[in-house]
Amino acid sequence: MTVTGFIAYAQGWGGLYIRANKLAWKQVHRHSGLGIKNRFGIPDCPERVHWEQEFATMVGAPGAYDYGPERCSWLTHHLTNWMGDDGFLRRAHCKIRRHNPEGDTLRIDGTVDRKRVENGRHLVEIEQEARNQDGELSVLGSGVVELPTRS
């Protein structure tokens, strides 16, 4: 986990409150409670917890940390990479369990929980979890994928 990675994800995702220049000014003036003053006394977006160490610790996080939706997308990628191009993702679910501060490394593991045929569809239920370098649980996930038949 790096601050650069957190910001790059926010750029691609769009972020809820991240705006620059005139757009930021308009947003803060339209929603006066949204801007949280930075160290210069200037109202800035609450998403700073993802890249400002001091702000993150001030709100009770262990430090600048990742975006939860990014972890959800990683679990989805984990499922789609496993099923391959001919599979179809029927369902995905994600439960965030902790902050991942800068410096953490995650490993995603999955197990096949159940296989079944339903209405001619060959379905596989998968349970997932991601843990950090210290073995702490970061996120739980599950999914159902449809796989093609061999016949």
Residues 138 and 89 both lie in one domain: yes
Q: Please spell the DSSP secondary structure of 69-87, one letter per residue.
A: HHHHHHHHHHHHHHH-TT-
What spatial distance separates the first Cα and last Cα of the chain, rounded to whole Å?
Answer: 43
- 100: in domain: yes
Range of the domain at 17: 3-58
Residue 107 region, left (φ>0) first, then alpha (ψ -120 to 50), else beta?
beta
Residues 118 and 100 both lie in one domain: yes
- How far apart (Å, rounded) are the C-alpha atoms in residues 91 and 88? 9
- 118: in domain: yes
pTM for this predicted structure: 0.82
Specify the DSSP element, H or E, that contains 141: strand 137-147
Number of domains in the chain: 2
Q: What is the pLDDT of residues 10-62, one digit of tens each?
A: 877 777 788 888 988 898 889 888 888 888 998 888 888 999 999 999 989 99
Residues 75 and 119 both lie in one domain: yes
Residues 73 and 137 both lie in one domain: yes
- How far apart (Å, rounded) are the C-alpha atoms in residues 144 and 151? 21
